Chain A
Amino acid sequence: MATVVYKVGDDVSTDAVYPGRFMATVLPSETPQFCFADDKAFNTALQQKAFAPGSVIVAGQNFGCGSSREQAASTIKGHGLVVIARGFARIFLQNSINLGLRTVICPALEAEVGDEIALAEAHVRNVTRGADFPIVPLPAARQAIIDAGGLIAYTRTRLVAARAR
């Protein structure tokens, strides 16, 4: 079980997740401090480690649209959060898979901040509301990367195999 700690609407851009003015900071070890930096209250709570790992951000359609900045994925991952959205923008979804940020596509999801969530294979259970919402599997093409533990590990294996030939 995990708690919904933040909720955003449709078309939330990576500018909102990780504002451009912090883009000179690139390393995954350093990006978490600027997570949703323009929302002072949420950012402060994150910095104070107010949320247990595995806590959930609930989002609407097209989450992570706009800039390809990978900091938007690493900054959320750095706080150990999971993103459950009605839909994700392509590049953000890909970056999340590549970095190992857990993302769940759940088109009909209904949840509010404070709700308790349980993640099953095929659905998201909103325990607080006693309702299940089906999960859309991630693109099949990406499963190998998830299984490898991220794109760095995946590419490393491929590279070693390729150069051994």
Chain B
Amino acid sequence: MGMTVVQKILARASGLASVNVGDVVEPAVDMAMSHENTALVINQFLEIFKGTGLEPRVWDPSKIAVIFDHRVPAESAKTATNQKKVREFAGAQGIEKFHDVRGDAGGICHQVMAEEGYDRPGAVIVGADSHTTSHGALGAFAFGVGATEMASVWALGRAVNIQVPATIKVVITGRLHAAVTPKDVILHLVGLLTAEGGNFKVIEFHGDAIAGMPTSGRLVLCNMSVEAGATAGIVPADAETVRYLREEAGVTDPLDLVQPDADAVYDRVIEIDVSTLGPQIACPHTVDNVKGVAAVAGTAVHQIVIGSCTNGRLDDLEEAARRLKGRKIAKGVRMLVFPASWKIYKEAMTRGYLGDLMEAGAVIMNPGCGCCLGVHEGALGDGETALSTTNRNFHGRMGNPNSDVYLCSPAVAAASAISGVITDPRKEG
């Protein structure tokens, strides 16, 4: 019986010829990533060693990435102290893939992992963050874990007691309309599957729309696969994966372009023709509450957020800058822009995107997650509405339970910034 991509990756990483759905395996981990919650991982890691007489050393410092992004620069003494503890630990353990608070490198962990070449096709990647699904964009099996599980990986170098997940095959065909983006595709899919439709499963992406999609768009699809509950999203590695890793991430090592078998068995197959898909929007307060933008067009917005691990890449900023150049953001609306990494920030600055956005009235923030999850800057006032290119709109997500968050593409966000109300970008210049 044939295997899916993830079955093949898990078999290889577990030293087995093949694995079946439901098998319990202990794959070796190729990369373990965490952010500010590394403070808790360290605490749990030291707990594991208590009473053993063993010196607490991580299994392989070269396979650990620690990237500060959730609260940068620190918003409180508590965070600053946690970051200090992590910085000292990384130094003592020899963790060199440590991205501190600085402007010449780093940024949001899910972008940094890709652009630094830490993501590889065929790899097993665990991250102490639910959006670790992002890294499937480069053909890796990447899934989120909690801090204690990360501590266990640090100690053993394996993810213990993993049950081989079933896979949903999603075939995406057709050509997207100019104002319709990968974000609209994944919002549509999450709406279709519902918030739990992918729970304990992998979403494997196929189809000509995927073949023609750059890595930046694939990252959007895989990033939000977790919003359908999926353990992982994955795009089997192809020519674009190789191009990205060689040309943009500077990877020179041999690559293992793991493919599914032709007779792989899937839990279900979903086919979506995106040629007629319009701009989508996730309405409060669940990500699967997805509608066509027309259904809520005209709704007044107070804060617009462009950026994050979902939509803070160069093509996203370009789209926003193109629409806002020479225009002004509506009065009473504030726009915050979070480039996904400092590399992107610098390039967007060089190309003039950031200047165009500033001239329109946007506030350019440093790369980070804080606003998206309501921990650091960009909180909403009582009764306010945000329109955001981020990935979650749960009750209170942006720091205030008495507010609403709508999720959309950068095109919808930029068009709406000019009008001050939710706007279909196909109707805007």
Contacts and interface: CB of A to CB of B under 8 A. Distances in A.
B49 to A, nearest CB: 8
B130 A151 contact: no
B24 A141 contact: yes
Interface residues of A, number: 47
Given A141-B24, A155-B151, A90 B397 contact: no
Given A98-B149, A159-B155, A62 B37 contact: no
A119 interface: no
B399 interface: yes
Nearest to A15: B394
A99 interface: yes
Interface in B47-103: 47-52, 54, 70-71, 75-76, 78-79, 82
A89 B146 contact: no
Contact of A91 (B49, B75, B130, B163): B130
Contacts of A21: 374-375, 399
Contacts of A20: 373-375, 397, 399
Interface stretch (A22-30, A51-59, A110-118, A123-131): A22-30
Interface stretch (B195-203, B242-250, B302-310, B414-422): B195-203
Interface residues of B, number: 56
A80 interface: no
Say what secondary structure dominates the interface of chain A.
helix
Interface string A42-73: 00000000000000000001100111111001
Contacts of A151: 148-149, 152, 160
B135 interface: no
A120 interface: no
B40 interface: yes
Interface in A74-128: 87, 89-91, 94-95, 98-99
A141 B396 contact: no
A38 B110 CA distance: 29
B339 interface: no
Nearest to B23: A141
A147 B72 CA distance: 39
B388 interface: no
B37 A26 contact: yes
Which of A16, A66, A160 counts the most B-chain CB atoms under 10 A from its CB?
A: A66
Interface string A125-154: 000000000000001111011000011101
A155 B195 CA distance: 32
Interface of A: 11, 13, 15-16, 19-21, 23-27, 38, 61-62, 65-70, 73, 87, 89-91, 94-95, 98-99, 139-142, 144-145, 150-152, 154-156, 158-160, 162-163
18 contacts: A13-B392, A13-B395, A15-B397, A19-B396, A19-B401, A20-B399, A23-B375, A26-B39, A26-B40, A38-B395, A67-B392, A91-B146, A94-B145, A98-B149, A141-B163, A151-B160, A155-B48, A159-B49
Given A15-B373, A24-B76, A158-B160, 9 more contacts: A15-B374, A15-B392, A23-B375, A24-B82, A67-B373, A98-B148, A140-B163, A152-B152, A159-B52
